[in-house]
Structure 1
Amino acid sequence: MRLLNRLKQYQRLWQPSAGEPQFVTVSELAERCFCSERHVRTLLRQSQEAGWLTWESQSGRGKRGQLRFLVTPESLRNTMMEQALEKGQQLNVLALAQLAPGELRAMLQPFMGGQWQNDTPTLRIPYYRPLDPLHPGFLPGRAEQHLAGQIFSGLTRFDSHNQRPCGDLAHHWDISPDGLRWDFYIRSTLYWHNGDVVATSQLHERLLMLLNLPALNKLFISVKRIEISHPQCLTFILHRPDYWLAHRLASYCSHLAHPQQPLVGTGPFRLALFTPELVRLESHDHFHRSHPLLKTVEYWITPQLFAQDLGTSCRHPVQIAIGKREELTTLSQVSSGISLGFCYLTLKKGPRLNLQQARRLVDIIHHTSLLQTLPVDENLITPSQALLPDWTMPQWEGLDEVELPARLTLVYHLPVELHTMAEQLKHYLATLGCELTIIFHNAKNWDNSAVLADADLMMGDRLIGEAPEYTLEQWLRCDQLWPHVLDAPAFSHLQATLDALQIQPDEGDRYAALALVFANLMNDATLTPLFNYHYRISAPPGVNGVRLNARGWFDFTEAWLPPPRNEEAGRRLPQTLP
């Protein structure tokens, strides 16, 4: 990049004397800068015109001129970064910042968060890790799931107030009396992010591509075929009724991208840039629902800021503080809640672990001080006694005398709190004569895991977004965990049970039947919840529309920044967010 090259050349001029005046020839400067004498004369002239240095040449070949420096490379870099930020040249900023990780924190702080830039409301999010690619289907991270929901739309979506599916790309739908035909009527005013009109045939093509994914094929196993029954109608023909179908289509994993351009969607924001260092969203001018007030959202991937204990935006992935470090004590909590998602333990019964032993393990976890004394941050987790409200755990008696196996194996994946949980459980079971081998699967889910086959216990995190009951049905149907937890007959019976409950048209009946499925899993000591997270967002005054959603984020379409007053035009607003 041009700015980066100019800064590097200036540093080469500066270094030999550390900024003291130099008496040097043009030839020596050209050798130092790896360029021709003609180019170095141009470089000196431009730098002098910019006010960086003075160059007093002497006539005659080989004569030494005097070079004086007026600014340091550090101050020049900071000026360049500030000018690039003001102009919206994000990649220039990141390139310049690579030369100065120590200054990156101080340099970026004033520009993070919400501010009006060139009369455009912009939200900059300093984030603690690179974002995973937004591939079709299921995504492991909450941030990626949330991002997919901002970029892509589905035929249906979940209403933010009642969590039930409603129209999105489809204005509405009809269901035949036997539940085997679903007609989705596509809006006629849809546009892709690239400006092209959405054709129903493109949505049809993308749906067929999704159904070819193994995980989504399980999700839509009841779909026999999808037809274009009218230029504005997609028809699903089913093998058996599936009254979760509108829910399945509303889930982020079923959102539809352009069939030839997988990062082009129809959601409220289009993806303008996706790199390991910077992700930039820009509002979609032809969005088919209410347009967002924010015009730009940027994720600045700056792990070094968090390594330096910056304390600005993301002290923990589930607790977001919007503000500068010096403002943290004055921030007010704007939204909070207990996650419906939970960390869980599953237990595989067999020759090494019988029913009573599994129940004793569950009883140890929930009726000792094990969960209450986990050494994790205060107000981060809360022990759970239910999968969902009213889906409470069973109570057993007479387990104290049950002898545990001599050896067991525990496999677990992220989040990091499960590291602590695994170690605590290992130490506790050792006091009871049970040797626990623990194996860490370094991922956010069980995809491509080769360690499940030999595990007796498995711990993980079940993210829940909208429609929690449906999300749990989807978990049982699609997750690679369950064929390893249950033997073949039990797993087949579980899938048949899910097929039977999905044919019930009444939502309340489906919920009751699903609650019974999970009650049986808990009573058999196959599954138990461990703890929930405390989601929390804190912000300074002036950041509006921040409302915690089911994934622990907030909808970018609802956030807004007050325009600067006339006397404050051009001044930065308080720092904000993730």
Structure 2
Amino acid sequence: MNNKKKLETYELLFKYFGPGESETTLADVAAALGCTSRHARTLLQQMSALEWLVWQPEPGRGKRSLLVCNQEPINACYQLMGDALEAGKHESVFKLAGFNDRHVSSELKKYLISSTQHNSQAIRIPFHREIKTLHPHYALDRTERHLILHVFQRLTEDDFGEIKPSLAHHWESDEEGINWTFYLQSGVQYQDQTPMKVEDIVLSLLVLINNPYWRSLYEHIESIDVLSPESIRISLSRPDWHLPALLGRSETSIMPSQYGRLIINPEAPVGSGSFMIDIASSRLFRLKRNNNYSGKNALIDSIELWIHPDWAKDKLCSEGSFFLDQPEQVYTAACNDVGYFYMMIKKPQLRERIVSKAIIDVLQEKRLILGEIYYPVTFSYDDNNECRYYAQLLNQALANHQHVISTCVSFGEQQKETDISLGGIRIEGCSLTSLLAFFYTYSLWPQILSPPLYQKLLALLHQAQATQDKQQAEGVLRSILTWLSGDRILTMIRQESFKLTAPLKIQGIRVNNVGWCDFSKLWVKSH
């Protein structure tokens, strides 16, 4: 008999005889379970071996025996779920949660709240979808990019806007901000305990600057030269005083290489970061502390993301939750600047003042119908709950119009044919480099802007990178947003924030503008 069936049998028995002690006969047990006395005896022995109950038979036909139900059926379920998790049988954990037709996602949440792990400090987080690729050059989703920051290292790292050393302990440039020298830590090891080589750093960055999506952001890197095993020189085609901040972004992570090629396992990539991937299944994603990390070790043993699609229904991109050992008082930490939701209007007719204002009013729920549009409209929207909601508002407002086509796209996917795009600008770490990343990687500017305006955009981007003062440089980028908004091309619908809810027991949470928090700084109070 499988464990799920045992649970269902035990719950049936519990309904008849539990909790506590009962005097009964084997025949009564068999009648309750709808089986023979012989099979009932076997079932009692199996459940007794699991310590769910105590069965003390009295010899002789018709003699009353002692039956003691030791625990509630749901606690017996949690025991089996813990055993299955320990054995790596993740699918079984989810099946057990649904015993006797229980709602799996609800029961899983209860398990995450109530479970304990025998003094091993693990923080468990309910998550609504399977984790996608963690290849730094191809991961575009926010959570994946956040996880990459923990699995891999970069030359620098962003700490709430302050650029700090990581693989590079020091860097310097010439007077023009064109030639940069980075001095590297020695003795860094990957999580498989192989040494990191300077060639790995060079190759990781060279492959990045040739990646079709990221090429435009890093195309000013002309060459990367090895000066010594502990130093490299990066030469640019134009000044960029913010290159160190740029090299702290997720996509610049350093990967191992061999024979001139990067080595990355798509299921469980190996980096040199504070956490290593322990489990990467469709049901459970577990990060385990890397005790060979060259920086400050993580304070927690492991972080687990438990995955069930039902949790996506009410999940906003701006919300996350931690669940620890048992229900307790919680608190919320928040960051109010993790990005913006925007509307990009590509079709000139839709940029007329009256029409564009009417569309904005719909998205801000100030009106319900778009009566000003008398021609076909196509639009795309990012695949998240917020943009799906804006798309729903727009579809409803255009319900009486013919030939309205809407398309859901992944973040970073750009549709040439659509008249309107609903998407997001993500602020990840440094706001300056985040805005640069948005402007450079949005490939449709030549289609949207006239040639002179496109050259104006490029000139302003280059000016921002050549401006040494960070605030002034960011001001140049903000002026681009103001210009595009004034021309009714790019309109910010609202600012994006993020909040995390956690038990008071979890300490060290500081929500960053990547949209999560630094897992390596989390710790758990024992009392």
Question: Which residue number in structure 2 is paired with residue 129 of structure 1?
Answer: 129
More moved, 402-411 vs 171-180: 402-411
Question: Which residue number in structure 2 is paired with residue 278 of structure 1?
Answer: 284
The superposition leaves residues 378-417 of structure 1 with CA deviations (integer Å, 9 ceiling, x where unpaired) of: xxxxxxxxxxxxxxxxxxxxxxxx9766443332223233
Question: Which residue number in structure 2 is paired with residue 574 of structure 1?
Answer: none
State the distance in 1 between where 2:385 and 2:105 align.
Answer: 25
Question: Which residue number in structure 2 is paired with residue 445 of structure 1?
Answer: 411
State the distance in 2 between where 1:131 and 1:301 align.
Answer: 9
Question: Which residue number in structure 1 is paired with residue 264 of structure 2?
Answer: 261
- TM-superposed CA distance for 1:48, in Å, is 7.7
| Residue pairs, 1:345-494, within 5 angstroms | 345-350=343-348, 352-353=349-350, 357=352, 359-365=353-359, 368=361, 371-372=364-365, 406-426=375-395, 428=397, 435=401, 437-447=403-413, 449=414, 452-487=415-450, 490-494=453-457
1:288 aligns with 2:294: yes
Contact 1:410 1:436 in 2 (8 A): no
Contact 1:426 1:436 in 2 (8 A): no
Question: Which residue number in structure 1 is paired with residue 94 of structure 2?
Answer: 97
| Residue pairs, 1:42-121, within 5 angstroms | 79=76, 81-83=78-80, 85=82, 89=86, 91-98=88-95, 100-101=97-98, 102=102, 104-105=104-105, 108-109=108-109, 111-112=111-112, 117-121=117-121
TM-score, normalising length: structure 2? 0.79
Q: Which amino acid aligns with 1:290?
A: K
- TM-superposed CA distance for 1:229, in Å, is 0.8
CA RMSD of aligned residues (A): 4.0
The alpha-carbon distance between structure 1 residues 276 and 71, as it changes in their structure 2 partners (threshold 3 A), is: farther
State the distance in 2 between where 1:167 and 1:7 align.
Answer: 51
State the distance in 2 between where 1:298 and 1:500 align.
Answer: 43
SS at match of 1:476: helix
Contact 1:445 1:460 in 2 (8 A): yes
- TM-superposed CA distance for 1:424, in Å, is 3.2
Question: Which residue number in structure 2 is paired with residue 544 of structure 1?
Answer: 507
The superposition leaves residues 205-239 of structure 1 with CA deviations (integer Å, 9 ceiling, x where unpaired) of: 22222223112222210111111111101211222
More moved, 268-277 vs 472-481: 472-481
How many residues are aligned here? 485
State the distance in 2 between where 1:427 and 1:21 align.
Answer: 58
Question: Which residue number in structure 2 is paired with residue 555 of structure 1?
Answer: 518
State the distance in 2 between where 1:404 and 1:12 align.
Answer: 60
- TM-superposed CA distance for 1:173, in Å, is 0.6
- TM-superposed CA distance for 1:134, in Å, is 1.2
State the distance in 1 between where 2:78 and 2:115 align.
Answer: 17
Give the gaps of 5 or more residues in structure 1.
Answer: 26-40, 57-67, 308-313, 376-401, 565-578
State the distance in 2 between where 1:179 and 1:370 align.
Answer: 43
The alpha-carbon distance between structure 1 residues 19 and 304, as it changes in their structure 2 partners (threshold 3 A), is: farther
SS at match of 1:120: coil
Question: Which residue number in structure 1 is paired with residue 195 of structure 2?
Answer: 197
- TM-superposed CA distance for 1:558, in Å, is 2.0
State the distance in 2 between where 1:231 and 1:327 align.
Answer: 52
Contact 1:86 1:117 in 2 (8 A): no
Contact 2:387 2:423 in 1 (8 A): yes
Question: Which residue number in structure 2 is paired with residue 388 of structure 1?
Answer: none
1:7 aligns with 2:7: no
State the distance in 1 between where 2:490 and 2:183 align.
Answer: 40
The alpha-carbon distance between structure 1 residues 76 and 372, as it changes in their structure 2 partners (threshold 3 A), is: closer
- TM-superposed CA distance for 1:530, in Å, is 0.5
Q: Which amino acid aligns with 1:273?
A: I
Identity %: 23
State the distance in 1 between where 2:336 and 2:139 align.
Answer: 22
- TM-superposed CA distance for 1:150, in Å, is 1.7
The alpha-carbon distance between structure 1 residues 291 and 500, as it changes in their structure 2 partners (threshold 3 A), is: same
- Aligned partner (choices 34, 59, 63) of residue 20 of structure 1: 34
The superposition leaves residues 95-134 of structure 1 with CA deviations (integer Å, 9 ceiling, x where unpaired) of: 2432553264565445425986333211011112222221
Q: Which amino acid aligns with 1:79?
A: A
The alpha-carbon distance between structure 1 residues 518 and 138, as it changes in their structure 2 partners (threshold 3 A), is: farther
Contact 1:374 1:424 in 2 (8 A): no
- TM-superposed CA distance for 1:320, in Å, is 3.0
- TM-superposed CA distance for 1:460, in Å, is 1.1
- TM-superposed CA distance for 1:554, in Å, is 1.6
The alpha-carbon distance between structure 1 residues 71 and 497, as it changes in their structure 2 partners (threshold 3 A), is: farther
State the distance in 1 between where 2:447 and 2:114 align.
Answer: 46
| Residue pairs, 1:506-545, within 5 angstroms | 506-545=469-508
State the distance in 1 between where 2:525 and 2:283 align.
Answer: 28
Contact 1:410 1:437 in 2 (8 A): no
The alpha-carbon distance between structure 1 residues 191 and 18, as it changes in their structure 2 partners (threshold 3 A), is: farther
State the distance in 1 between where 2:488 and 2:216 align.
Answer: 25
Q: Which amino acid aligns with 1:270?
A: M
1:343 aligns with 2:341: yes
Contact 1:543 1:560 in 2 (8 A): yes
The alpha-carbon distance between structure 1 residues 211 and 17, as it changes in their structure 2 partners (threshold 3 A), is: farther
TM-score, normalising length: structure 1? 0.72
Q: Which amino acid aligns with 1:459?
A: L
1:177 aligns with 2:175: yes
Q: Which amino acid aligns with 1:360?
A: I
**Larger relative contact order (C-alpha < 8 A, sep ≥ 6)?**
1
